């Protein structure tokens, strides 16, 4: 296993850390549940690899908690920072705001 291999424990840690951010209501699975990382017997919703060959590029789909009052630019930056701290091997993090509650 290389340090850039995205495993279930790493993906779960990323999802938990991002969900704990102020301004994040939850991670979005997409309209039809298509936004997820698939592992044997498990799915981690709200995270996608845009390229199946590149584990170091992740896309996070977020449902924003507007009552927190966090500007979207700050929330995007905080999300990227949290992912990089949780998994330093990541090179690119795209943040998609799917919905707001």
Pick the CATH number of 8-100 from 3.40.50.1950, 3.40.50.2000, 3.40.50.10610, 3.30.70.1350: 3.30.70.1350
Place of tokens 């936004």: 35
Number of H helices, E strands in the chain: 2, 6
Categorize the per-residue pLDDT at 1 as very low, low, confident or very high, splitting at 50, 70 and 90.
Answer: very low
DSSP 8-state symbol, 2: -
Per-residue pLDDT tens for 16-34? 999 999 999 999 999 998 9
Per-residue pLDDT tens for 35-62? 999 999 999 999 999 888 888 999 999 9
Across the range 58-85, mean pLDDT stands at: 97
Return the SS3 of 91: coil
Q: Mark residue 67 as left, alpha or beta (left: phi above 0; alpha: psi -120 to 50; beta: remaining).
A: alpha
Give the model's pLDDT for residue 2: 45
């Amino acid at each position: 296993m290389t340090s850039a291999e995205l495993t279930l424990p790493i993906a779960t840690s990323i999802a938990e850390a991002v969900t704990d951010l102020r301004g994040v209501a939850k991670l979005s699975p997409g309209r039809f549940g298509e936004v997820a990382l698939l592992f044997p017997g498990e799915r981690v919703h709200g995270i996608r690899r845009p390229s199946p060959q590149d584990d170091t590029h992740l896309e996070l789909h977020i449902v924003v908690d507007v009552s927190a009052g966090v500007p979207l630019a700050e929330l995007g930056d905080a999300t990227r920072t949290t992912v990089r701290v949780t998994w330093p091997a990541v090179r690119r993090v795209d943040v998609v705001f799917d919905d707001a509650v």
